[in-house]
């Protein structure tokens, strides 16, 4: 059975979005790293989310056999993850996009060359997207796109993004998303993001002293946010913040009401666009608060990630 790639504690990162080209909002959730998060069907039937990222394809590239890791949800070695096909289709029938997130913090992955990147892209297309393969890990469901959660490896992800985008031509669109660190440019994803092919970019403003928010020098956050939103072409941008001291340490951690009054005002003054951020502690302890806050989120994009 697969092992979890994140802490067993159910902690959430709550991120806010600047909607640059559309007023449509929604909540995005990473799913797959803790059995306590419920099934994929439960997640989509909750009515809270518009995008679900299945996490992670944690092994790929450099002549490795690709491997998906969904913790205790299913065992890919025995084709046990094919049962998720029904859940994926259920989500999509509700209008929810379902993505595959590749990489992660503890995966074994790298791209040795541009040719290797294109080979991985073709593998993703044939095994998870609109292509054909006899060994589709998630059954016959066709996912909506690929999320790049890349934290190591060789810098050939631009070739991966371009090849995935080529597969979109003349067929179902392949959505591309990315989770770079806030220091600009991102060490691993700058080349890929510079292609302008990504639909959503959620920038991680935590565990990054050069650009995370601190009250004594808020301009670090402000300047980084401005640089990201002005330098990278994307449909939507997200600000990533820790929801717990356990997720990022005391220095990075801020309570949501403090962030709402400080960072929120700062970003609004820069962009002129209304946004919101909230903080959620562990689940189920804060589930009631979480649910009540979710009801208030209209025309706002919030990205939630299990860490």
What's the pLDDT tens digit per position in 176-221? 999 899 999 999 999 999 999 999 888 888 778 898 877 788 788 8
**166 catalytic residue (yes or no):** no
pLDDT at 215: 73
- The DSSP secondary-structure symbol of 163 reads H
pLDDT at 187: 92
> Please, which pLDDT band fits residue 28 given cuts at 50, 70 and 90?
confident
* Number of other CB atoms surrounding residue 8 within 10 Å: 11
Q: Tokens 């009515």 map to which residue?
A: 47
* 116-155 per-position pLDDT tens digit: 999 999 999 999 999 999 999 999 999 999 999 999 877 8
The model carries a pTM of 0.83
Domain boundaries, the chain: 12-306
Cβ atoms 195, 161 nearer than 8 A: yes
Q: Which two tokens stand for residue 190?
A: 């700058």
Question: What's the whole-number mean pLDDT along residues 218-235?
Answer: 89
Question: What's the whole-number mean pLDDT along residues 261-266?
Answer: 56
Rounded distance between C-alpha atoms, residue 182 and residue 208, angstroms: 7
> Please, which pLDDT band fits residue 175 given cuts at 50, 70 and 90?
very high
Question: What's the whole-number mean pLDDT along residues 247-267?
Answer: 52
* Number of other CB atoms surrounding residue 25 within 10 Å: 17
Cβ atoms 243, 281 nearer than 8 A: yes
Question: What's the whole-number mean pLDDT along residues 19-43?
Answer: 72
Q: Which of 151, 212, 235, 250 is catalytic?
A: 151
* 166-180, 183-197, 231-245: least confident range: 231-245
What is the rounded average pLDDT for all residues in the chain? 78
169 has a pLDDT exceeding 60: yes
For domain 12-306, the CATH superfamily is Glycosidases (3.20.20.80)
Range 152-174 burial, b when 16+ CB lie within 10 A, else e: ebbebbbbbbbbbbebbeeeeeb
251 has a pLDDT exceeding 70: no
């Amino acid at each position: 059975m697969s092992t979890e790639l994140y802490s067993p504690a159910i902690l959430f990162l709550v991120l806010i979005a600047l909607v640059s080209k559309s007023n449509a909002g929604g909540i995005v959730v990473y799913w797959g790293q803790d059995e306590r998060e419920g099934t994929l069907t439960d997640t989509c039937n909750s009515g809270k989310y518009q995008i679900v990222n299945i996490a992670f394809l944690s092994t790929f590239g450099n002549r490795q056999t690709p491997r998906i890791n969904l913790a205790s949800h299913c065992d890919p070695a025995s084709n046990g993850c094919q049962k998720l096909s029904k859940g994926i289709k259920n989500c999509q029938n509700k209008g929810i996009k379902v993505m595959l997130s590749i990489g992660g913090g503890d995966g074994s992955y790298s791209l040795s060359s541009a040719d290797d990147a294109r080979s991985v892209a073709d593998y993703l297309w044939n095994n998870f997207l609109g292509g054909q393969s006899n060994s589709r890990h998630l059954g016959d469901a066709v996912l909506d796109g690929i999320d790049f959660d890349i934290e190591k490896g060789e810098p050939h992800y631009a070739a991966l993004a371009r090849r995935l985008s080529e597969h979109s031509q003349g067929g179902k669109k392949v959505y591309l998303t990315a989770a770079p660190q806030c220091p600009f440019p991102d060490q691993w994803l700058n080349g890929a993001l510079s292609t302008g092919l990504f639909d959503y970019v959620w920038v991680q403003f935590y565990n990054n002293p050069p650009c995370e928010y601190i009250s004594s020098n808020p301009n670090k956050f402000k300047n980084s946010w401005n640089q990201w939103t002005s330098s990278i072409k994307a449909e939507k941008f997200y600000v990533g913040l820790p929801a717990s001291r356990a997720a990022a340490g005391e220095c990075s951690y801020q309570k949501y009401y403090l962030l709402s009054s400080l960072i929120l005002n700062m970003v609004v003054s820069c962009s002129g666009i209304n946004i919101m951020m909230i903080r959620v502690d562990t689940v189920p302890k804060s589930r009631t608060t979480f649910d009540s806050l979710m009801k208030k989120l209209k025309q706002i994009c919030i990205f939630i990630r299990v860490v």
